[in-house]
Structure 1
Amino acid sequence: MPRPTARVLTLLELLQSGGTRTVAELADRLGVQGRTVRRYVDQLGELGVPVESVRGRYGGYRLAPGYRLPPLMLGEDEALAVLLGLLAGRRAGLSTAERTAGETAAAKIRRVLPKHLARRLDPLLDALAFTDRPGEFDTPDAEVLLTLADAVRHRRPVSLHHTGRDGRRTERTLHAYGIVAHAGRWYVTGRDARLDEDRTFRLDRIADARTLPGSFDLPDGPDPAERVLSAFATAEYRHEVTVRIHGTVGQIRAGLPASVARLADGAPEDDAPESNTPDGNAPEGDATVERWRVVELRVERLDWLPAVLASLDRPFVIERPDELRARVAALADRLASYARDRTPGPA
């Protein structure tokens, strides 16, 4: 390919990345002078590519809004990144469309790849295996997701129709703080304007979203991801559990992460050591100090908790419920009986 033609295609690729590019920036990237950049822009215009000239101090060139771009030009690393991203997104449930949409998108990319590149990528994609099985997830509506994202960016209230776990449909006005992907699900977290309370909603349960007039201020406090994890840990479930565990925050979080349990004594959630007290000891609230900490959980079932508490290998006291105390004692008896039994098992 002649060098001027290659530079024109490179210019198109730079403009496709979005935003306004100055003449000086384009000239530096292409290794030419400014007047040559203007000539290349004219050539794109002759090819039907609508390049706009932006005046002013930060002016330059950009593609006209809404222009349907020609096929993308992907290098080997870029093509591999896109295909692996589609594959991993489908398996993790992080998709806004049906499974077939991701599959057809990947197939289209593979069809237009040069043969030498396809020969290198296909063996990897065919040989790639995952240790977990792909899950079946309810994907959110793409229009709902984009509407909520716009509301988050511009801090605009949004009206949404949500279906709860009980099947009841309600209309909410939400001040959306952020969108969070967690464990194969999409969530939006924010302030319910009518209830004046923080709420977290699954996007696949939102049937419609509409931006409303007005604006709101983003409050201080945890970021959206922390808010979603906190909502999981404090949700209403069948059992309320309170356990005092002796250890550092890191030791406790190894078995009871923030999405499952809440530290009720306000201990910091990071392991960065704080400044020492004058006597040389770490302060009482330091996350790296081994001390008694109150841990609270709300769970539907208790059968998994005894093994988790045992795996922490830290002293603990169960304050409630009594049923959990009985389950832990039963597990301890079983483990003790297994340790005492010297009868050989089946070959």
Structure 2
Amino acid sequence: MTTSTARVLALLEILQGGGLRTVPDLAARLGVDERTVRRYVGHLLELGVPVDAVRGRYGGYRLAPGYRMPPLMLTDEEALAVVLGLLAGRRAGLVTTSAAAGESATAKLLRVLPAALRRRLDALLDTADFTARPRTPTAAAPETEVLLELAEAALHRRPVAIAYTDRKGRDSDRTVLPYGLVAHAGRWYLTGADPADGEVRTFRLDRITAMSVRSGSFDVPADFDPAATVLDGLARTPWAHDVSLRVRGGVRHIRGHLPPEIATLSTPDEAADEDAGWVHVRIRAERLDWIPPVLAAIDRPFVIERPAALRDLVRALARRLEEHATDESA
């Protein structure tokens, strides 16, 4: 966006505040001369924005009475992307402006969206929680419709029926009392209770293949914490592999390749000379094939304690790298 375009939009924002604005006042607020202000007003008129010019000693510009900006025409996915971008940026500390500025931007966006979409996004913001930033930009995303419908159901405390495929590929139909939504490590999770036994469960939204809202209502326990429940559920997941290894290097360097949502790091007692400078790494994973490339990227000495299958994969990667390095056929 060019500077002049940004200032034209800033002029429109000022005029939307209502009242008559003098040319000297507008020039001061925009940081331009009075002739430029008049040129910017001309641009707004060309865009069909009805700006009235009031002549006289106390004249200036104002928007025509009754004029309102038309609704911002975004699809559900586009609006979701913008609102979540603002929210996640603030939560992750990626926004350099004040928290008030981020909240104001979100409020302005919601104000000009169509009412039905605004209600759904309000429901999501009221029911969603966030933990860690995404570990990868390619994490599976749920259908926008599923996310927004679940947000509304959680807000209004309506049961939902879902078709779900678990991590082992098994399909099932379930009824869930949606307590809350949580964004964690690049994925969305639904946490809620099974109405049959009251057991609280966690579901990945990208594994929900169909859903519908049912009649009825429910109460959420007063001390229920959706984010803590999701993290606890993930910690209890029986992963296929329990990886234990030691890496000789700094924690900060290792964390650059193995963030907290992937691995736990611990340093031994400094008095143990044989372990000085080594960091213990614990990873629970469904697959092992992605770990050898990460260890290669860390580029520090390491010792694999378990499982033995990981050593075989590392040796296989080393052989392939050696073959590629010595291949002179290209």
What is the TM-score of this pair, normalised by structure 2? 0.46
TM-score by length of 1: 0.44
